Amino acid sequence: DAKTTQPNSMESNEEEPVHLPCNHSTISGTDYIHWYRQLPSQGPEYVIHGLTSNVNNRMASLAIAEDRKSSTLILHRATLRDAAVYYCILSDSNFGNEKLTFGTGTRLTIIP
């Protein structure tokens, strides 16, 4: 299974943009890139996903490298509520969610 590599932790100032990187050099052509986040004492929640093109939704933007070997989750204006562990995950579209493998993620700290 393709794996992802993320920094263990990052810090960002409140009200500034945050760029969370993810490397997935062994990604296959059918793998989707998902991002989930886990707020303290809660279950993970979906943030965004994409295949080849950049994606935007109300929570964040996902920038995918042209060779798809890396991606970046962009929080445009971080708030204290965005402090969480962010997981970058690959899923094989041939199998669906059962191939979702969560790593240890990036713990994002927001500095007031």
Partner 1 sequence: DADVTQTPRNRITKTGKRIMLECSQTKGHDRMYWYRQDPGLGLRLIYYSFDVKDINKGEISDGYSVSRQAQAKFSLSLESAIPNQTALYFCATSDGTSSSGANVLTFGAGSRLTVL
Q: Where along the sequence are the contacts to partner 1 (CB under 8 A)? A: 30, 32, 34, 36, 41-46, 49, 51, 87, 91-98, 100-105
- CB 99, min distance to partner 1, A: 9
Find tokens 């094989």 and name the residue: 92
Nearest approach, Cβ of residue 72 and partner 1 (Å): 18
CB of 96 to partner 1, least distance (A): 6
Of 83, 70, 85, 89, the C-alpha closest to 24 is: 70
Phi, psi at residue 92, to the nearest 5°? -80, 120
Find the largest Cα–Cα distance for the chain: 43
Query: For partner 1, which is the closer residue by CB, 13 or 26?
Result: 26
